[in-house]
Amino acid sequence: MSRWETTSAYEGDASPADVWEKAYADASAWPAWNAELKSAKLDGPLRLGATARIAFKTGLRLRFEVVEFEEGRLFTDESRLPGARMGHRHLVEPTESGSSRLTNTIYIEGRLAPIWCRVMGPRASKSLPDAQRAVIELAKVG
């Protein structure tokens, strides 16, 4: 099975609790920090097994399931693509100063991962740092 992934780490001046509450736990906020998204809707609270529907500005629509979850710290969502799976791992950790360290990993795995990687990989890699900066800015509001 083939696998591709990209990871970005970023530290910003917002508390992990604010990142979680204002940016991650509220699906309606996802398009505010992910410029690729037109809309996002969870079927309930963010938790293990939760499902969501997201629409990209390109017109692509995906359903995903939360396959990894630690309240206030981590969630990984995963979508099925023809011949592959695509996931996004969102990790927020406190720094010594009380700010946040965001580590985001996007992966694509499966027999058709090389094709999906060519289609989605470059844009995913490029979008992570901007999304992380936007998460921190959103978490600092209010």
Q: What is the CATH number of the domain that holds 103?
A: 3.30.530.20
Q: What is the predicted pLDDT for the residue at 142? A: 63
- Range of the structural domain that residue 127 is part of: 2-140
Q: What is the predicted pLDDT for the residue at 123? A: 86
Q: Give mean pLDDT, residues 64-91.
A: 97
Q: Give mean pLDDT, residues 89-93.
A: 98
The string of DSSP letters for the chain reads -EEEEEEEEEEESS-HHHIIIIIIS-GGGHHHH-TTEEEEEESSSS-TT-EEEEEETTS-EEEEEEEEEETTTEEEEEEEETTEEEEEEEEEEE-TTS-EEEEEEEEEEETTHHHHHHHHHHHHHHHHHHHHHHHHHHHH--
Domain count, the chain: 1
pLDDT by residue (tens digit) across 11-60?
A: 999 999 999 999 999 999 999 999 989 999 999 999 999 999 999 898 98
Distance CA 98, CA 105 (A): 22
Distance CA 2, CA 47 (A): 28
Q: Give mean pLDDT, residues 82-96.
A: 96
User: pTM, whole model, 2 decimals?
Assistant: 0.93
